[in-house]
Amino acid sequence: MIALGCDHGGYALMKEVIAYLDANNIAYKNFGTFSEESVDYPVYAKAVAHAVANGECEKGILICGTGIGISIAANKVKGIRAALCGDVFSAKATREHNDANILAMGGRVTGVGLALEIVKAFLETPFSNDERHIRRIQQIED
Ligand code: RB5
């Protein structure tokens, strides 16, 4: 189950992400927002981050205008490793190296075609399980 959250700046791109998930039969829980009316991104960041941290959802996708505010807010929640990605290499690497559990993107930054490739890479790339990466992730939590 993938937890989804966005603000008004990410709403248009989130609709495209949802269409991608639907087309690929990927289950999700949408925490909103549900329109382009102006809202506060930390509300959605925290809802998604808590759903991932408590195990209700396996991973999350967060989108605001830049992806910056919503990733900063998500990373305040213990156990969350939210990665702001604007390219496929980073999406793949952050899964392999950081075991990132939330993907953040900028709806006013990243075009739809690239964003969906980033989503695909993020969802399909497993964590490497390499000892050095496990050690470094543990150091983040300490
Ligand atoms: C909203 O205008 C904008 O500030 C928000 O979407 C995001 O870019 C914040 O980091």
Tens digits of residue pLDDT in 103-113? 999 999 999 99
pLDDT of residue 119: 99
For residue 7 and ligand 1, the question of a CB distance below 6 A is answered with yes
Contact 103, 122 (CB under 8 A): yes
pLDDT of residue 142: 87
Q: DSSP labels for 72-109?
A: HHHTTSTT--EEE-SSHHHHHHHHHHH---EEEEETTT
Model pTM? 0.98
pLDDT of residue 104: 99
Structure tokens at 96: 């392999």
Using one digit for the tens of pLDDT, what is the confidence trace for 40-56? 999 999 999 999 999 99
Q: Which of 31, 34, 104 is nearest to 62 (CA)?
A: 104
Assess whether pLDDT exceeds 90 at residue 58: yes
Q: Which of 56-60, 73-77, 122-126, 138-142 has the lowest mean pLDDT?
A: 138-142
d(CA 8, CA 108): 10
| Residue from 6, 40, 66, 72 to probe ligand 1 pocket by mutation (most atoms less than 8 Å from CB) | 66
Mean pLDDT, the chain, whole residue set: 98
The pairing of strands 82-84 and 102-106 is parallel
| Residue from 13, 14, 44, 64 to probe ligand 1 pocket by mutation (most atoms less than 8 Å from CB) | 64
d(CA 7, CA 31): 10
Q: Tell me 19's DSSP state.
A: H
Using one digit for the tens of pLDDT, what is the confidence trace for 63-84? 999 999 999 999 999 999 999 9
Percent of the chain with pLDDT over 90: 99
Kind and range of the H or E element at 6? strand 2-6
For residue 65 and ligand 1, the question of a CB distance below 6 A is answered with yes
pLDDT of residue 125: 98
